């Protein structure tokens, strides 16, 4: 006669055996497959981009120093040329003389020239940087070039012109007034523009290299996730095929065992066993057979796949119907924000919701469930107020045969995940604020 100690472990043992077959070889697929060559490739690209940017920046700073030397060189050249021009003048320079000098040296960058006496302009040619040249003269020191509005300003001593008069006793009169000039540092600006373009090109190339490195890293991560997902799908497919074969092989003998055990139970009760133990053992056989039958049904549901039969369904009514069919517990349903209709496979979505609600009722006397539309996605939320989820187990919630229940099969959430994914949706579980667990389903519109 089959006793309790021999029957009780059947379901957990069968679950562990099938889970062990599923997990063989799957542990390695959970690890990210990052080869060292990938890091070398991405690191080399990042290093090249950083080195290029640093080189261009150093060159740009060096060009800035070189441009200052060019400005001083251009100022010295103009000063020498202008001093030569003034030596050939017959008397004090006039506006006409300055116009001719300006026209001669315009290609060299000269834009304004003036003769200054006591901080007053007595003759000039060209256009100054400011309408009032005296404002410019206030901050200019003789022989020291200064910049203002893209021009270089310089106050230099003019040479004594021929025919200058002598003072009393044959002493020469006071020297000629200084000359104020403004010129554009053509060569320095050309060098600086070229350096700026080089900096922009180098920065763009460096940014492109960094973008390529980032894209490669994202692509590698995506490929790793895809590889893991494909391996998981392959394992799930193999498990589904094995589960279907196993379930079909067990179903018929189990049905016979359960039927005979039920008949035996009724006969014992009818004949009236003196100790009453025989009837209890028969009932235990029937109970264990029912639990094995539930496992087989879960295995078949897990192995089941195929096309969805979508139809226009009232999501709120579907949730309320599932809540009413779950025995025990108090389920508060909120359908105030539910849409009027959504394209769903009603039977499969009912299976998902019933599973989540049943799990919630088993751990909490108070359960809330809601349905709404967020960002064009149908969102179901089921929450309990129990002890919550173990943080270490959250990543494995939807894996087949992962359960903390002694009598559970560990396939309910795995089946729910597969059915939600058939709807192109997502399902996730987390610990809710304020205690308890929360499961969220999102299904996009079709």
In this predicted structure, the answer to whether residue 256 has a pLDDT above a threshold of 50 is yes
Q: Which residue, of 304, 327, 354, is where some domain finishes?
A: 304
Tell me: the pLDDT tens digits for 43-66? 888 888 888 888 888 887 887 778
As a whole number, the mean pLDDT across the chain is: 77
The verdict on 54 and 149 lying in the same domain is: yes
Asked whether residue 78 is domain-assigned, the answer is: yes
User: 182 is in which domain, residue-wise?
Assistant: 1-160+174-304
Tell me: the pLDDT tens digits for 338-386? 999 999 988 889 989 998 998 899 888 889 999 999 989 999 999 999 8
pLDDT level of residue 304 (50, 70, 90 thresholds): low
The verdict on 336 and 433 lying in the same domain is: yes
Tell me the CATH number at 440. 3.30.565.10
Three-state DSSP string of the chain: CCCHHHHCCHHHHHHHHHHHHHHCCCHHHHCCCCCHHHHHHHHHHHHHHHHHHHHHHHHHHHHHHHHHHHHHHHHHHHHHHHHHHHHCCCCCCCHHHHHHHHHHCCCCCEEEEEEEECCEEEEEEECCCCCCHHHHHCCCEECECEEECCEEEEEECCCCCCCCCECHHHCECCCCCCEEEEECCHHHHHHHHHHHHHHHHHHHHHHHHHHHHHHHHHHHHHHHHHHHHHHHHHHHHHHHHHHHHHHHHHHHHHHHHHHHHHHHHHHHHHHCCCCCHHHHHHHHHHHHHHHHHHHHHHHHHHHCCCCCCCEEECHHHHHHHHHHHCCCCEEEEECCCCCCCEEECHHHHHHHHHHHHHHHHHHCCEEEEEEEEECCEEEEEEEECCCCCCHHHHHHCCCCCCCCCCCCCCCHHHHHHHHHHHCCCEEEEEECCCCCEEEEEEEECC
Q: Which residue, of 304, 319, 354, is where some domain finishes?
A: 304
User: 218 or 30: whose pLDDT is higher?
Assistant: 218
The verdict on 22 and 91 lying in the same domain is: yes
* Rounded average pLDDT over 236-258: 68
The verdict on 392 and 249 lying in the same domain is: no
In this predicted structure, the answer to whether residue 201 has a pLDDT above a threshold of 70 is yes
Query: pTM of the predicted model, to two decimals?
Result: 0.48
pLDDT attached to residue 33: 44
Asked whether residue 92 is domain-assigned, the answer is: yes
In this predicted structure, the answer to whether residue 171 has a pLDDT above a threshold of 60 is no
pLDDT attached to residue 332: 92
The verdict on 297 and 352 lying in the same domain is: no
* Rounded average pLDDT over 382-403: 79
Query: How many domains is the chain partitioned into structurally?
Result: 2
pLDDT attached to residue 177: 76
């Amino acid at each position: 006669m089959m006793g309790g100690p021999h029957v009780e472990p059947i379901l957990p043992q069968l679950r562990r055996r099938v889970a062990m077959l599923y997990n063989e070889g799957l542990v390695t697929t959970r690890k990210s497959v990052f080869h060292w060559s990938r890091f070398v490739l991405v690191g080399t690209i990042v290093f090249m981009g950083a080195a290029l940017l640093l080189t261009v920046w150093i060159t740009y700073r060096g060009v800035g120093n070189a441009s200052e030397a060019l400005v001083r060189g251009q100022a010295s050249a103009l000063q020498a040329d202008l001093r030569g021009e003034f030596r050939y003048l017959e008397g004090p320079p006039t506006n006409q003389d300055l116009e001719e000098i300006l026209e001669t040296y315009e290609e060299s960058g000269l834009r304004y020239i003036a003769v200054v006496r006591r901080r007053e302009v007595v003759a000039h040619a060209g256009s100054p940087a400011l309408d009032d040249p005296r404002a410019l003269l206030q901050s200019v020191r003789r022989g020291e070039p200064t910049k203002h509005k893209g021009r270089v300003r310089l106050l230099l001593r003019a040479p004594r012109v021929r025919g200058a008069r002598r003072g009393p006793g044959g002493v020469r009169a006071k020297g000629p007034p200084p000359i104020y000039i403004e010129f554009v540092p053509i060569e320095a600006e050309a060098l600086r523009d070229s350096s700026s373009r080089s900096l922009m090109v180098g920065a763009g190339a460096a940014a492109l290299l960094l973008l390529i490195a980032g894209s490669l890293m994202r692509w590698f991560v995506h490929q790793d996730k895809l590889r893991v997902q494909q391996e998981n799908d392959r394992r799930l497919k193999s498990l589904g095929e094995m589960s279907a074969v196993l379930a079909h092989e067990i179903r018929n003998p189990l049905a016979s065992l359960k039927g005979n055990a039920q008949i035996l139970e009724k006969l014992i009760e009818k004949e009236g066993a003196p100790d009453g133990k025989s009837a209890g053992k028969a009932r235990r056989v029937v109970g264990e057979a029912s639990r094995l039958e539930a496992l087989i049904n879960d295995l078949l549901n897990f192995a089941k796949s195929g096309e969805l039969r979508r139809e226009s369904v009232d999501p709120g009514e579907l949730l309320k119907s599932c809540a009413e069919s779950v025995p025990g517990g108090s389920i508060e349903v909120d359908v105030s924000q539910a849409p009027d209709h959504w394209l769903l496979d009603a039977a499969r979505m009912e299976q998902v919701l019933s599973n989540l609600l049943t799990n919630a009722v088993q751990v909490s006397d108070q359960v809330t469930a809601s349905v709404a539309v967020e960002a064009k996605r149908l969102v179901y939320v089921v929450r309990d107020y129990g002890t919550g989820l173990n943080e270490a187990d959250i990543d494995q919630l939807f894996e087949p045969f992962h359960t903390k229940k002694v009598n559970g099969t560990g396939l309910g959430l795995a089946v729910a995940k597969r059915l939600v994914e058939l709807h192109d949706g997502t399902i996730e579980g987390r610990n809710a604020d304020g205690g308890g667990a929360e499961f969220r389903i999102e299904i996009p519109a079709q």
